[in-house]
Structure 1
Amino acid sequence: MSQHFLLSPAAKTLSLVKVMRMSEAEARTAFRKIRWTETEGEPICPECGCVDHYDLKTRQVYKCKGCAKQFSITSGTIFASRKLQVRDILAAIAIFINGAKGYSALQLSRDLGVDYKTAFVLLHKVRESIETARNAGALSGNIEVDGAYFGGYVKPANEKKDRKDRRKKVHQSGKRQSVIVMRERGGRTLTYVTSTEAEGVALVAANVEHGATVHADEASHWDKLAAYFPIKRINHQEAYSKDGACTNQAESFFSRLRRAEVGTHHHIAGKYLGAYAAEMAWREDTNRQANGHQFAMAIGAVAAAPVSRQWCGYWQRRA
């Protein structure tokens, strides 16, 4: 019996111990080399692009010789105006990477000894960075599409005589949302959050190249895709895979997302569902890559991501 990839030595090239043993100076040097690869770690002014600068001795910042603006190694990135040390940020990302089913903000706050809200924002900034860095463009080849509903649970009444039919809209909370997934076999995964699964038809038409083969289940709203693509259907009441048609990779994504919701986070607020779905899509796409490579990808995404407009006002209750 072959060994699962996650159990093999090839999957474990990242050591959290090594990250935590780094000094702050070593962590800053590592981050500089990742952010400014073209100059081998020499700072570049985020305002004017000048490479000439002064090192201020009173603070760990630089002063540009071109525009006289002061900047730090995280200025202009998603971690601008940070308070945590760079080593702690690298450690948080390493911990995040090693959580195969995700990592909760509560647990990270305990690991780093920081406030829960600090850990919550930090993890969401990492998720936003990864989503921003992912390759854009239409999907091609064989594409599996599916949708699943999350949230909006209404607890039934204690006594049977008082219970309502929760399938009817009048008895629902209105918070239920659908996650639409499009998985390119051997490629990328795209996710969207909509009110109903039927809205996924237009999203598939907009994000899949013409000529690609679409695989979908027996839900009637996917019938409209036949006007855009060659389509293969699978009836899950008969089989999970038949005559080359299946949506098993899409189902694998939903399995990972539901395990993260139930087993790791326990609750995902509706407005953050898209961020968690994007994270799980990235984890699915990279699940056969070593954690050291995943860590390098995440650090590179963080170093390249601009200042977050969603999370910059979280402490002022604007997020």
Structure 2
Amino acid sequence: MQHFLLSSKARTISLKAVFTMGEDKAYRTFCQMRWAETDGEAVCPRCGCVESYDIPTRRKFKCVACHHQFSVTSGTMFASRKMSFTDLLAAIVIFVNGAKGVAALQLSRDLSCQYKTAFVLTHKLREAMAREQIGRKLDGVVEIDGAFFGGHVKPENVKADRKDRRLSENRSGKRMCVVIMRSRNGKSLPFVVRNEGDAVPFVRDHVGTLATIHADEGTGWDALHAGWDTKRVNHSVQFFDDGACTNQAESYFSRLRRMEVGTHHHIAGQYLYQYAREASWREDNRRIDNGMQAAMVLDAGLASRVSRNWKGYWQRAA
């Protein structure tokens, strides 16, 4: 049987289709997605009035009630855009097509834009993706595991000068732990903490009390036995023990690690949480065709407010 990702059902949109639709059709796509309830007719973001004057030469509208001028991207994550609507749609398609993520440098070359533009745009899309995870609760069988990223310490040139980098005193202090909580046949939720055990409070907030938790033998998970039916598996002995395993959590880390090694090369530090949430979104929606994925990201971006993390990012004081 053919794998879904190899079938034609997984390919419902392409860059060719985006670039041949033209700027007008791309603009109408944004309008249809932003104002789906009114069939693409403009709604004032300030007062909610559904009547407005069209200013076609500037692709703007003027509200009849409050006289506020606005565009299809006003008040959204795409506000103050300079890219064309066609390029924005193409960027979204390129972004969702990358199974292990897309580097900002590659996107800047594909769209012939500055690296800074691609970098901020991809992080805005990651922020839009994360809207799906807000307030998420996991139930049923939930697998939990953690993996460390970042904080690489380069070994000394001379062998005699090299130190044991496994010891805490020889580490950089920048290494962080990504903890994934993944419901079988359901959704996932990542967090970034210093150590695995620090994620226990997040488990209390986001995992139902009737859930069954599967975890490895890490001592940080011992506290889970007090609140949930918890099954453990010792990975130094076996990967599967009487129904207990964390294979789906490991699948998530496989994707995130490939993103780190093969695409971005360095995803630690202040951006680690954004990349972790992106990998979670990709895992949760891996069985959805790329056209629907692009629509989901565009819809989330238009439903998001202006990003306070990325608006004016390059103008900030260092």
- Length-normalised TM-score, structure 2: 0.97
1:16 paired to 2:32? no
1:113 paired to 2:103? no
1:215 paired to 2:204? no
Q: Secondary structure at the match of 1:202?
A: helix
In 1, the alpha carbon distance for the partners of 2:24 and 2:291 equals 21
C-alpha spacing 1:318/1:209, structure 2 compared with 1 (3 Å):
farther
The residue aligned with 1:37 is: 36
* Contact 2:108/2:117, CA 8 A, preserved across alignment: yes
Q: Provide, for residues 217-242 of structure 1, a one-character-per-residue CA deviation record: whole Å limited to 9, x for no partner.
A: 01112111000100111111221112
The residue aligned with 2:294 is: 295
The within-5 A match list for 1:136-285 is 136-285=135-284
Q: Provide, for residues 81-140 of structure 1, a one-character-per-residue CA deviation record: whole Å limited to 9, x for no partner.
A: 111011110100000011011000000000000000100001111110110134633110
Aligned length: 318
Q: Which letter does structure 2 place at the counterpart of 1:168?
A: L
Alpha-carbon deviation of 1:169? 2.2
The residue aligned with 1:75 is: 74
* Contact 1:201/1:225, CA 8 A, preserved across alignment: yes
The residue aligned with 1:96 is: 95
* Contact 1:147/1:200, CA 8 A, preserved across alignment: no
C-alpha spacing 1:318/1:12, structure 2 compared with 1 (3 Å):
farther
The residue aligned with 1:130 is: 129
In 2, the alpha carbon distance for the partners of 1:28 and 1:188 equals 33
Alpha-carbon deviation of 1:3? 2.0
In 1, the alpha carbon distance for the partners of 2:291 and 2:134 equals 20
Q: Provide, for residues 201-256 of structure 1, a one-character-per-residue CA deviation record: whole Å limited to 9, x for no partner.
A: 22112210101000000111211100010011111122111211000000000010
* Contact 1:62/1:70, CA 8 A, preserved across alignment: yes
Q: Secondary structure at the match of 1:21?
A: helix
Alpha-carbon deviation of 1:318? 5.9
Q: Provide, for residues 8-50 of structure 1, a one-character-per-residue CA deviation record: whole Å limited to 9, x for no partner.
A: 1111112221011121111010111111010000011111111
Moved more, 195-204 or 51-60: 51-60
Superposed CA RMSD:
1.3
- Length-normalised TM-score, structure 1: 0.97
In 1, the alpha carbon distance for the partners of 2:56 and 2:92 equals 29
Moved more, 105-114 or 125-134: 125-134
Q: Secondary structure at the match of 1:121?
A: helix
* Contact 2:73/2:79, CA 8 A, preserved across alignment: yes
In 2, the alpha carbon distance for the partners of 1:55 and 1:115 equals 32
In 1, the alpha carbon distance for the partners of 2:65 and 2:138 equals 43
Alpha-carbon deviation of 1:303? 1.4
In 1, the alpha carbon distance for the partners of 2:93 and 2:56 equals 30
* Contact 2:164/2:170, CA 8 A, preserved across alignment: yes
Q: Secondary structure at the match of 1:245?
A: coil
Q: Which letter does structure 2 place at the counterpart of 1:7?
A: L
Moved more, 34-43 or 163-172: 163-172
